[in-house]
Each structure stands twice: as structure tokens, then as C-alpha cells.
Amino acid sequence: MDKNNILASIFANDPLGLLDVRQKASSSINQDQRLVQSFEEINNFIDAMSKEPELSDDITECNLASRLKNIRKDTLKCDILREYDKHDLLQNIPKTLTTIDDILNDDKFGIFNTDDDIFNLKHVKTFKERESADFIARRKSCRNFSKYEPLFIQCQADLKSGKRKLIKLSEVNLKEKTFFVVNGLLGYLDTIFNLAKDKYSKLDGRIYTIFENGTESNMLFRSLGKIIYENGSVVTSTDENSIEEFNNDFNIITSEDKEVGFIYILKSKSIKPEIIEIENLYKIGYSTTPVKNRIKNAINEPTYLMAPVEIISIYKCYNMNPQKFEKLLHALLGDTCLNIDIYDKNSNRCTPREWFIAPLSIIEEAIQSLIVEATAINQ
């Protein structure tokens, strides 16, 4: 008789049920369950006393008040407890943004406020309408191109010598008598007719442009601005003495601009195997002080994984809300957020929420996309 048959025989002949052993259910609970239980104690206190727990001589009430205060400081705990918040104790605590809907619903600063529903394409033109608009803006041969040809020749020479440069800009920087490049073709904005803001507060009007291939167009100002913004550049002036004018025209930072902090990208220099083995791990944060000063004590701070860090990029912020920018950026990269527990020198557990596992190029693209979106909305 082989061993399988022997075992089967033993189990089949167990009249006292000595071998009928069932695994006991685990009595342990995880950390989230403990958090919910501790919060329910606060709910039970309010049910009984009809008030929030306060700091008082009653030790039990004092402990519950301290517990509620600490919960309100932790947005992650608040998110976990919202479905158990029957007394609206957490109603004014900001939610963690993880989806596009969260971002739009949490837009307290009105960044995305428009007259249109961005998910409703009711203003998208039909094919015939687009075809008609394209016909109106279609370039045709410029009869007096000889008048402009020397300007193009000189502009090309200035670009080659370095007197002029190509810079990436938006439509608000377009002015009369300026050069631009679209799809590799040099153009000249000669005249702007009846430039005014439309019902969406966007500048628009008809313009007259000439191109170095001898064609001209009377396209819309917004159309040209969009093309340059997506796949073009503006050509700078050659007047080296007109610094102030250059700053006004091309949004260079001046003394009137208010510096409000820094958005930074860091890389960990931790020697712990569980950190080293993670590729493309970066911290994205915000600081009101110079980043080098902010990270001096990184080795002692859980938010920096209790290790030195390397500065990858720093974005100096002006005339904006960098905390809101950081929040939106974290939301865009939310699915790549590192989930790890770090313990400080006092063995306190912390969960850093500013580390993301994503290629640097993707992070930088996300930053640029937000900058472009904010710039476009503010125009």
C-alpha cells in the first residue's frame, strides 16, 4: 500500500474526529480597521453626549479630543474614515486628489472655470464648418511680396548670426511687425484688425500675415496663436538695448514678479535594498525656502526616506499658488505614488506621499503640461 492510500485510510478511520482540525479565524485586525474602531469611539461619544469631545478634566473625553485632532491633520486618514463620518466631523478637511474628477471638484481657485462643459463637445465644429474655416484662412500668392522679401532675408541672417532667437511662446505675445515660425516656415505678422476679447475672454480678430514662400493669409488671430503654441516659435527682436520691452513682450521675469517658492524633483541616495531596487523613483515637492537648505536634514526626515537626496530639477515659481500646482501634479501622477512605510529615529511609522515611480521625462512632461494648461486658461 502506498503512502497516499495509507493517509486516506487513517483519515477515513477517525471515529473521534481527532484529525478534523479547522483553521481558526484570525483575531488580528489591520491598521485601517483599528483606525475605524478608534473613530467609532468618537462617534459613540457624540451619540451619548450630543457634542464633540473636548480637552477637559475627563481623561476619556480628553483622549478622544486629541485623537480627533490628530485625525483631522492627516488627509489620508480622513479619506479612509469619510464613509464612517456620520457627524460630519471631517467635512472641511481637504480630500486626497487621485482622479481627474477629484481635481475638477476640488478647484477652489477656479483654474478650470469655463462657460463650457469640457466633457460636452457641443461647440466642436462639423467637417463642413472646419472646411469653410480652412478655406477662409487658406494662403494665397502675395502680389507685393517684393516689399517683404528683404525683411525675411534679414531675419534669416539675424537668426543665423544669433542676433535673433526662436522662443516658445503663446498667442498673447503676438504683435504687429513681428516674425514667427510655424512648421519650419518663417512668417511675418503685418497687421491685426479689430483685436478684441470674445465671449470666452480670449483675444481674437482677423490678421494679415506673409510667409517667406511668397504667400499671404488673412487667418484668425486665435488660429495663428494656436498653431504657434502647438508647433511653432516666435522670433525675438534684434534691439539689444530694449530689455524692458523684451521683458514685457516675452514674459521674462522682472522685479515686479513675486517669487512664491520652488517645485523640485529629487532622487534618493538611500542604501537600503528596498529603495535601491526601485527604478525611476523621484520625490516631487514644494518648498518656500531654497531647496538646498530644505534638504540639509534629509537623513533624519521620513519624508526623504531617512536618507540623503540628489537634486534633479528645481522650478522657481512666480505669481501662482505653488501648493495648488503641487497638489494637481501629485494627482496627475497619483497611480505611480510609492506605497512604503518609513520609521523615524523614535520608531514612529510614517507613509511619505511625495515619491513617485515614473520616468523623469514623464514627470517633466506632466509639469510642462500643467504649466501650458494654466497659461492657456489665464490668457
Q: pLDDT of 175-212, one tens digit each? A: 888 899 988 899 999 988 877 777 666 777 888 899 99
**What DSSP character marks residue 22?**
-
Whether residue 24 is predicted with pLDDT greater than 80 in this model: the reply is no
**Type and span of the H or E element at 356:** strand 355-357
If we measure between CA atoms, which residue out of 189, 199, 205, 130 comes closest to residue 155?
189
For the chain, the average pLDDT equals 77
322-332 and 360-378 helices cross at what angle (nearest 10)?
Answer: 130
Average pLDDT over residues 313-336: 83
Geometric angle at alpha carbon 262, from 256 and 264, rounded to 5°? 150
Assess contact for 78 and 93: CB atoms under 8 A. yes
Q: pLDDT of 145-175, one tens digit each? A: 999 999 999 999 988 888 888 877 655 567 8
Gap between the Cα atoms of 272 and 266, Å rounded: 17
Average pLDDT over residues 78-103: 73
Q: What is the DSSP string of 86-115?
A: TT-TTTTSPPPP-SHHHHHHT-TT-TT--S
Q: What per-residue string of b and e applies to 201-236 under the rule 16 or more CB within 10 Å gives b? A: eebbeebbbbbbeebbbebbbbbbbebbbeebebbb
